[in-house]
Structure 1
């Protein structure tokens, strides 16, 4: 019965995510608001709320910071694998798509965060201000800087021409808000269902349990991104994934504020796998996006190679992480 409830909630989450991505696409086409901001800030924050909920639960209720680190880093590497998969699944649409310039900075910021965490955690550096780690402050500052950049980006709409909806903007925004509330409620319920399944079948501390929770918390990003790719809006889709990854890092700040048992930034062998393969994935996924904006005119012969090999390496990194985590 619990599994049936899990599947029903998963379908509901997928339905809300698809509707939200449809509204994002319409807002992107009808207004001057940049798709990078709509997808990278608004939609990304909404679809990342399951990660926020589970992270607060892990620190405030369970007192297990390692679950937070694993949840956030695991979600980010999964999101990057989703982005790479969509680049490979829709190669022609991706090549024709226009990507906002702010995504270039988002790519750099995500890679920089990975590198920062590898260095400071590897050296064992820790400093607190009012019981909040300096690392959390740095991550929040980086996220806010990314939000500022995406909000200043120009309005680039690259989905199929014409808005099919006959709804007014007020109606669209109202329905967007309703779907957002519904998605948050369904996602929280899905997280509870995931915990119940993990407890019932005693897989909570295994890789299977982690993957089950990862699917539950990443389902909104996955579903909305696939739908945006089908609509041809790679600008909002890329913003959704990169914005979600940045927002997830900012969640560590919130988790740090709710954890009173010492340092949030504890490391395990799986943490290092997530950091190393996460950094590799961030670098690989940046290559085709940066090539589109900076290098395709200078190096046209690299087009087929750069659009295929780096995304494939992202998937290889993700599966290598899974293999080494068993």
Structure 2
């Protein structure tokens, strides 16, 4: 019964996420707001709401910070796998599509955060001031810089294919109605995300899984379903710029969640005593993120194909070891 409940709740998260991405695309079509701001900040923040509320619930309500770390690292790696698989299916369109150069800078900053966490795990940079880790402070500083890149990532025009798609779509909704429906979808994502946390904890106990593995699989994948659903939807709309902004923005925003959970946690915080699966997530994230940067830097089919397969192999290796 608990598995059925998990699937039903996850399905609602996906449906609401598709709705949210549709409303973001309508805002992109009907307002002067930049696609980079809508995808990199607004949509990425909303699709990261499941990670935020599941991580806070796991840390504060359940006192299981390992679920939080596994959730965030698992979500970020799964996000890269998801867009890599989608790119393989939309190979031709994406290779010709326009994507902001600023997203490469954000991907590099995400890689930098991975290094900070690795240094903490190795006990090289592991200092706590009151109830806050220096790693969380560094993550916050990097996020501020990354948000700046996301906000100004408007150096591309809308693709002609996307314009043709938009021309074929029409809506009778006003800007206020679109915004209100986007808000309702966001609230729904939050509510069902909190339910996912409790269901995941029950499943992990029932299957006797470690916190890192349970967080990566049952929270990390489930809370990444919004990014997956919205990215597929945006690729179908040929809105590649917002789709990439959603992924890199979500991965950056997810690490801020670690900082928030670290402040709210008791004792040694969310970085303490990582298990083997959590360390594996970190290592493969350190490999997959540069591959994604290369994919954005060299937009030819060969490079994108090799990097996409490499990222997928990272996740497969995590599951197998």
Q: TM-score, normalised by structure 1?
A: 0.89
Aligned to 2:207: 202
Aligned residues of 1:280 and 1:317 also touching (Cα < 8 A): yes
User: Bigger shift: 25-34 or 157-166?
Assistant: 157-166
Secondary structure at the counterpart of residue 25 of structure 2 = helix
Task: Give the superposition deviation at 1:176.
Answer: 0.9
Query: Is residue 53–residue 193 contact of structure 2 (8 Å, CA) maintained in 1?
Result: no
CA contact (8 A) 2:85 2:308 kept: yes
CA separation in 2, counterparts of 1:7 and 1:141? 37
1:237 offset after TM fit, Å?
Answer: 1.0
Counterparts of 2:114 and 2:307, CA distance in 1: 18
**Contact 1:36 1:150 (8 Å CA) reproduced:** yes
SS of 2:37's equivalent? helix
Q: CA deviation at 1:209?
A: 7.3
What is aligned with 2:287? 280
2:217 aligns to what? 211
* Per-residue CA distance 1:76-128 (angstroms, 9 max, x = gap): 11111111111111011101211122212111111111123223432432222
Are the counterparts in 2 of residues 99 and 156 from structure 1 also a CA contact under 8 Å? Answer: no
Per-residue CA distance 1:267-308 (angstroms, 9 max, x = gap): 33223211111011001111121123xxxxxxxxxx231121
| Counterparts in 2 of 1:123 and 1:190: CA distance versus 1, 3 Å | closer
Q: Which one of 260, 264, 271 corresponds to residue 270 of structure 2?
A: 264
Structure 2 CA distance for partners of 1:234 and 1:11, relative to 1, 3 Å: same
In structure 1, the partner of 2:76 is 76
Structure 1, 34-43 or 151-160: larger mean CA deviation = 151-160
**Which residue among 195, 219, 243 is the counterpart of 2:249?**
243
Contact persistence 2:35–2:242 (CA under 8 A): yes
* SS of structure 2 residue aligned to 1:124: coil
User: Aligned partners of 1:62 and 1:10: how far apart in 2?
Assistant: 20
Corresponding residue number in structure 1 for 2:235: 229
| CA distance 1:212–1:309, change in 2 (3 Å) | same
Query: Over residues 59-82 of structure 1, what are the superposed CA-to-partner deviations in whole Å (9 max), with x where a residue is unaligned?
Result: 223333322221111111111111
7-16 vs 270-279, which moves further: 7-16
Q: Structure 2 vs 1, CA of residues 5 and 278 (structure 1 numbering), >3 Å: closer, same or farther? A: same
Asked whether the 8 Å contact 1:21–1:227 carries over to 2, the reply is yes
Query: Secondary structure at 2:14's aligned position in 1?
Result: helix
Closer/same/farther in 2, CA of residues 123 and 306 from structure 1, 3 Å limit? same
The match for 1:172 is: 178
How many pairs does the alignment contain?
313
Q: Which runs of 5+ in 1 are unaligned?
A: 293-302
- Cα RMSD of the aligned pairs, angstroms, is 2.0
Change in Cα spacing, 1:194 to 1:53, as seen in structure 2 (3 Å) is same
Q: 1:49 to 1:280 in 2, by over 3 A?
A: same
Find out whether 1:111 has 2:111 as its counterpart: yes
> 2:8 matched to which residue of 1?
8
1:164-209 CA-partner distances (Å, limit 9, x unpaired) = 222221211111111111222122223333334444x434537467
Contact 2:36 2:152 in 1 (8 A): no
Please tell me whether residue 157 in structure 1 is matched to residue 158 in structure 2: yes
* Residues in 2 aligned to 1:219 and 1:77: alpha-carbon distance in whole angstroms: 13
Change (3 A) 1:310 1:190: same
Q: Which of residues 311, 316, 320 in structure 2 aligns to 1:319?
A: 316
Q: Answer yes or no: is 1:182 the counterpart of 2:188.
A: yes
How far apart, in 2, do the equivalents of 1:209 and 1:60 lie? 15
Unaligned runs of 5+ in 2: none
Superposition pairs of residues 116-131 of structure 1, within 5 angstroms: 116-131=116-131
Quickly say closer, same or farther: Cα 1:59–1:209, change in 2 above 3 A. closer
Over 3 Å counting, the alpha-carbon distance change for 1:274 and 1:91 in structure 2 is: same
CA distance in 2 between counterparts of 1:130 and 1:197 reads: 34
